[in-house]
Structure 1
Amino acid sequence: MADLVSVIVRFLPGVVGETRRTSHLVPVDIDAGIPETVLTYCGVEIVRGTAEVLEAYAGMPCELCLLRQPRSGAGM
């Protein structure tokens, strides 16, 4: 079974309007690294080079990603 972690990503300025630059959560296999295209917990597809990886939330978090992320101890 893959070791998944949740990574925080946000579209780069100019890729989408400022109101859509929310911080999303993405499940990533830590052994495989970040793939060319990722799917957030809320269902948004993000292509490498169009978003930044954040160390902490910046700006508004995506509420749907927060609701859909696995809970601690629940496994991924």
Structure 2
Amino acid sequence: MADLVTVIVRFLPGVVGETWRTSHLVPVDIEVGIPETVSTYCGVRIARGTAEVLEAYAGMPCELCLLKQPRSGAGA
């Protein structure tokens, strides 16, 4: 089974309009690293070079990513 970590990404300025530059959550296999194109939990596909990886949320978080991300320890 893959060891997944959640990475926060946001489109770079100029790639999309400012209202679309929300912080998205992306599952990444730590053994593979970040691929050429990633799919966020909300379904947005982001190509390498069009987004930045963030250490923490910056700006507005994507609400759908927050809702769809897996919950660790849920129901425990």
TM-score range, shorter chain: over 0.9
**Which residue number corresponds to residue 60 of structure 2?**
60
Matches within 5 A, 1:1-76: 1-73=1-73
Secondary structure at the aligned position of 1:26 is classed as: strand
Q: CA deviation at 1:39?
A: 0.2
Secondary structure at the aligned position of 1:71 is classed as: coil
Tell me how far apart the structure 1 counterparts of residues 45 and 58 of structure 2 sit (CA, whole Å): 19
Provide the aligned C-alpha RMSD in A: 0.7
Q: CA deviation at 1:72?
A: 1.3
Q: Deviations over 1:17-71 (max 9, x none)?
A: 0000000000000010000000000000000000000000000000000000000
Question: What amino acid sits opposite 1:55 in the alignment?
Answer: E
Aligned-residue sequence identity (percent) comes to 89
Secondary structure at the aligned position of 2:15 is classed as: coil
- Which runs of 5 or more residues in structure 2 are unaligned? none
